Structure 1
Amino acid sequence: MRVLYLSFYFPPSRASGVYRARATANFLAGHGWDVTVFAAPLRFLHEAVGSVDEKLADTIDPRVHVERPSLNQFVWASDVRRFGRFRRQFPVLAQKLYNGTQRIFPEHYHSWGLNAVKRALRLHARRKFDVVVATGNPFAAFAAAYVFHRLTGVPYVVDYRDAWTLDLFKDKPLYPTGHPAWAWERRVLDRASGVVFVNEALRQWHAQRYPALAAKMMIVPNGWDPDVLAGGVVPAHKPSDPLRFGYVGTITTAQPAQEMVDAFALARTHPSLSGATLELYGHLGFFRAGNRHLTQTLGVDDEGRVGGPATGVLYRGPVSKTEVAEVYASADVLVFLAGGAKYVTSGKIFEYMANGKPIVSVHAPGIAAAEVLAGYPLWFNADSLDPADVAQARIAAGKAAADLTPQMRAAAVAHAEQFTREKVLVPFEAKLRSLIRR
């Protein structure tokens, strides 16, 4: 069985959706599939995004074949010394010509999608693909799967890691009526043999908008990877040591990061959290420019202190996915920071639960992640973003960490076991097999 997996963000990318893509490719390769992945060009990851996790690339199953179709990086280019001769001499005309190409597909990644189709046709001519899986964003991957299907008849499944036409953070349509994205989404979904979402809230929103297509929609939640989390030694907390809170993940402007800092500073005034620290591991923003902006917004000084010494919040910088187990092991309490509304799950929460430690939430009430956390016995949720409420949840989580027993941790881990990648991907792999048999 041969699958073409269109996943623009794939290791060594460090984008939030890359772990789902990594796990899917490895899972299929481990279950007898011949997997070819089309991913972003390395030049884009190094120059435009500005950061990668090279160690994560080493965790890809060696049986997975990765190709990287080219991408027109016009919109990301900012160094005029590297512009081509035509763009240097006729910048306005060059911009108009580029804008014209957007009419083909309304996304800056459309050239990658087109080149992916060309390359896929050449590979298909040599040895046929049985099915195509496309994961978005970017949604040029969906369009590429659709075009390849129209030319070859090969069935395809689209995996919504993110929403295409829904603004997850404002809970409203992302585009105005008549925008080309709507026509493209309808076109793609009409022809798809399967449509996958990460949670029920997203599935419902799309089922209401496209009721005739609801029968082909399914949920494949995010999960956690035992191979990545293996090796973390969980030390028992010593009553004499200050509690250590930890956050792991990218921090963006869409998250209530300032509320997190303010609440922790307030919580530290309680005697049980005297001297406690909150250590932040991860990148500030997805792109290099976002790093500077968030550094200034949060007040990160040269020593990594956030908002001044009194807050107890320390920015430790990024950590490789392959080393994240040690970071989790060093924390007594894990802080779950998330932006958005009811459609947001976040893949990070599954890793948090797998560590069997108290988790304190810092996010708006009613997000989709709450459905996953509801059965976790060590979850502390203020159900509010008011710093005073979040501070109280932190104090309660700190007490739980100080009193944590092996039995309590085992019960927490037992809840997380149902979300291993191996378990959540079984129905998805069965769906792909059914398409080939059909």
Structure 2
Amino acid sequence: MKNRSDRRPRVLYLAFYFPPSRASGVYRARATANHLVEKGWDVTVCAAPLDFLYDVIGSVDEELSKTVDPSIHVERPSLNHYTWQHDLREFSWLRRSFPLMAKRVYQFSQTKLFPERYSSWAWASVVRALKLHTKKRFDVVIATGNPFASFGAAWMFNKLTGVPYVMDYRDSWTLDLFHDEPAFPKGHIAWSWEKRMLDKASAAVFVNEALRGWHAERYPEVADRMMVVPNGWDADVLPKAAETAVEEAARAAAVDGSAQDSDDQKPLKFAYLGTLTAKQPVEEMAEAFKIARSHPDLAGAELQIHGHLGFFKNSPGTLKARLGLTDEGSRPEGVEDTGLRYCGPVSKTEVGKVYEEADVLVFLAGGGRYVTSGKIFEYMAFGHPIVSVHQPGIAAQDVLDGYPLWFNANSLDVDELAASMVAAGKAARDLTPDQRAAARRHADTYTREATLIPFEQRLREIVGA
């Protein structure tokens, strides 16, 4: 029989959003699981059921699944679809026969047990994990939120088995990031649940220092167990960015001068890549680009929008109309050409091409001071000029600080934004291999490998203890 020290450490990863999901948090979960396997861990993931991803929210990227290490074992516990069901034919027997009783049972679970509609998945994950644990012991649990019911599942599993757990806050549960204020009223059970879970956690992880500080102030007794693990960019699915700056400079130097002169005359291509939502300052971005495009240096320039409009298949389709976005290559007759183009969604495995073909990247972000956004790490990896379109003082500015091609109006005033877009366009025209190399060196400090090393080491300390 093998001693514990002779086998790979075993981790249970509670990550609802895992490939083929395309939710924003899935990239951190995918990278973490792959990194742990690479470092010698035995990884089991409890993720969302496939029928929920495909049939309920219609939010998938099947190509992303191919980037998951095949040795990772994925379990998909069940989820009660109560709040997502609107077709009577999908209702359970209880809900069809006794709708008021079914509603009261659901409301009781939300107000008295755990205040999140994903809680049924969390408890199903505990049951599934206990069965797996009896066959082969888990050494540590990582729970990533949202949904934050994963934290509750980790707490319950620890209570039943004693296995230590780590809470990974990809997002904040009790802080409203878009209004910089508490997300729940005083006395709400979310507060007692968060304190209960943090008290027993071996570590709590946050994506930036601002979020860590906010939670440390409210839970000072566990502040010494809190750490920051920022997001990063994924070299395995961004092969162009993984090329060294030296190779890039050598290729650029070999380009014929006349060809470069010809490229300088082409209209500039601005690009935004990500999920567009109503919480972002999209109108300000569109109006600023319209103003900037009147400048001679940006004549004929395009701002291409790559990505989904909202996270769910039934998300409102009003964004395109509000911004006057058109599908690539078409514009309704009589509509002014604003230069904005909607190019549709892009698989994670294809985003490198979008970034590489752009001249300027537009970093559009919603929310306030606690927001970083995972996209900014990818943006930096390609060494292009980056224009910020967001509220002043968000946490992403800490990441961008030191990036030599960052153009930040530090305002949402459209004229100031337009001026920063014009400046970024000029920088793109005059960009040298050395400048791009310097930008990429800054980005190299934020590869997933670099950001996850301290986290993996902390997990080993927890298991060793």
TM-score (norm 1): 0.97
Question: Following the alignment from structure 1 to structure 2, what is the Cα–Cα distance between the partners of residues 110 and 138?
Answer: 9
What is the CA distance between 1:10 and its match in structure 2?
Answer: 0.5
Q: Note if contact 2:324-2:340 (Cα within 8 Å) is conserved in structure 1.
A: no
Q: Give the equivalent residue in structure 2 for 1:178.
A: 187
Q: Note if contact 1:131-1:154 (Cα within 8 Å) is conserved in structure 2.
A: yes
Between 67-76 and 84-93, report the one with greater CA deviation: 84-93
Q: Note if contact 1:265-1:310 (Cα within 8 Å) is conserved in structure 2.
A: no
Q: Give the equivalent residue in structure 2 for 1:87.
A: 95
| Aligned partner of 1:164 among 170, 173, 176 | 173
Q: Give the equivalent residue in structure 2 for 1:367.
A: 394
State the one-letter code of the partner of 2:152.
A
Q: Note if contact 2:387-2:408 (Cα within 8 Å) is conserved in structure 1.
A: yes
Q: Give the equivalent residue in structure 1 for 2:275.
A: 250
What is the CA distance between 1:302 and its match in structure 2?
Answer: 5.7
Question: Following the alignment from structure 2 to structure 1, what is the Cα–Cα distance between the partners of residues 335 and 190?
Answer: 44
- Name which one, 1 or 2, has greater alpha-carbon Rg: 2
Is 1:138 the counterpart of 2:147? The answer is: yes
Q: Note if contact 1:305-1:312 (Cα within 8 Å) is conserved in structure 2.
A: no
Classify 1:274/1:302 alpha carbon distance in 2 versus 1 (closer, same or farther; 3 Å).
closer
Question: Following the alignment from structure 2 to structure 1, what is the Cα–Cα distance between the partners of residues 444 and 179?
Answer: 32
Local SS of the residue matching 2:237: helix
Is 1:211 the counterpart of 2:211? The answer is: no
Is 1:62 the counterpart of 2:70? The answer is: yes
What is the CA distance between 1:63 and its match in structure 2?
Answer: 1.2
The number of equivalent residue pairs is 438
Question: Following the alignment from structure 2 to structure 1, what is the Cα–Cα distance between the partners of residues 83 and 337?
Answer: 42
Q: Give the equivalent residue in structure 1 for 2:292.
A: 267
Question: Following the alignment from structure 2 to structure 1, what is the Cα–Cα distance between the partners of residues 327 and 409?
Answer: 32
Classify 1:89/1:321 alpha carbon distance in 2 versus 1 (closer, same or farther; 3 Å).
same
Gapped regions of structure 1 (runs ≥ 5): none
Q: Note if contact 1:7-1:37 (Cα within 8 Å) is conserved in structure 2.
A: yes
Q: Note if contact 1:250-1:282 (Cα within 8 Å) is conserved in structure 2.
A: yes
TM-score (norm 2): 0.91
Q: Note if contact 2:240-2:356 (Cα within 8 Å) is conserved in structure 1.
A: no
Percent identity, aligned pairs only? 62
Q: Give the equivalent residue in structure 2 for 1:45.
A: 53
Q: Note if contact 2:57-2:314 (Cα within 8 Å) is conserved in structure 1.
A: no
Give CA deviations for 1:326-367 in whole Å, capped at 9, x if unaligned: 011110000000001110000100000000000000000000
What is the CA distance between 1:95 and its match in structure 2?
Answer: 1.8
CA RMSD of aligned residues (A): 1.7
| Aligned partner of 1:277 among 297, 302, 308 | 302
Q: Give the equivalent residue in structure 1 for 2:123.
A: 114
State the one-letter code of the partner of 1:156.
Y
Q: Give the equivalent residue in structure 2 for 1:72.
A: 80
Classify 1:231/1:378 alpha carbon distance in 2 versus 1 (closer, same or farther; 3 Å).
closer
State the one-letter code of the partner of 1:328.
Y
What is the CA distance between 1:253 and its match in structure 2?
Answer: 1.1
Question: Following the alignment from structure 2 to structure 1, what is the Cα–Cα distance between the partners of residues 346 and 87?
Answer: 29
Gapped regions of structure 2 (runs ≥ 5): 1-8, 253-259
Q: Note if contact 2:18-2:48 (Cα within 8 Å) is conserved in structure 1.
A: yes
Question: Following the alignment from structure 1 to structure 2, what is the Cα–Cα distance between the partners of residues 363 and 213?
Answer: 32
Is 1:430 the counterpart of 2:454? The answer is: no
State the one-letter code of the partner of 2:80.
N
| Aligned partner of 1:330 among 349, 357, 362 | 357
Give CA deviations for 1:225-259 in whole Å, capped at 9, x if unaligned: 11111047989771111000001100111110111
